[in-house]
Amino acid sequence: MKVLVSGASGYIGRQLAEKLSAVGHDVTCMVRNAAQAPQLHCPQIKFVEADALQAETLPPALNGIDVAYYLIHSMSGRVEGFELRDRQAAHNFAIAAKQCRVRRVIYLGGLAATGASVSAHLKSRNGRGVAKIWTASRRTALRHHRW
């Protein structure tokens, strides 16, 4: 199966890419900057450069992909506007995945209780933001719980 792992520079993305490759999947990691791609232990893993905030870069990364893992978090850069960037990136990715006929997109969000102690980042990923984009596009949403 041809698999794309977006957010491959992060801890979960790196681990996932290596595990998927180890069990025989054809894995491509999507990174914003190929020069800063993570060091992986599986030489057969390919890298493609794309940025979910730049919609035009996504179709070349998603063409021919069966399953895409969406592990992108727009936390880099300024704190202001990260919620909007998160939603825009997810929206761009969902549209490109549909156009490229990706069979399944698996989204990793986060679980957290509601209330004042929940970070703005987790609130944006679980409430009216990114999670609803994936639900509306009939994609699989996985939740990560921090203990």
Contact yes or no for 41/17 (Cβ under 8 A): no
Q: Distances from the Cα of 143 to the Cαs of 42, 51, 84, 123, in angstroms?
A: 27, 23, 20, 13
More confident residue, 63 or 8: 63
- 125: phi then psi, degrees, rounded to nearest 5: -85, -20
Domain range for 99 is 2-145
Number of domains in the chain: 1
Contact yes or no for 31/9 (Cβ under 8 A): yes
User: What value does the mean pLDDT take over residues 119-141?
Assistant: 53
Which residues lie closer than 8 Å to 106 by C-beta, 6 or more apart?
A: 67, 68, 69, 70, 139, 140, 141, 142
pLDDT, tens digit, for every residue of 24-37? Answer: 999 999 998 877 77
Residue 131's nearest CA partner among 147, 142, 120 is 142
* pTM, entire model: 0.80
Q: What is the CATH number of the domain that holds 79?
A: 3.40.50.720
pLDDT, tens digit, for every residue of 54-109? Answer: 999 999 999 999 999 999 876 565 667 777 888 888 889 999 999 999 999 988 76
pLDDT class of 43 with cuts at 50, 70, 90: confident
Instruction: Please report how many Cα atoms fall inside a 13 Å half-sphere around the Cα of residue 23, on the Cβ side.
Output: 8
Which residues lie closer than 8 Å to 54 by C-beta, 6 or more apart?
A: 92
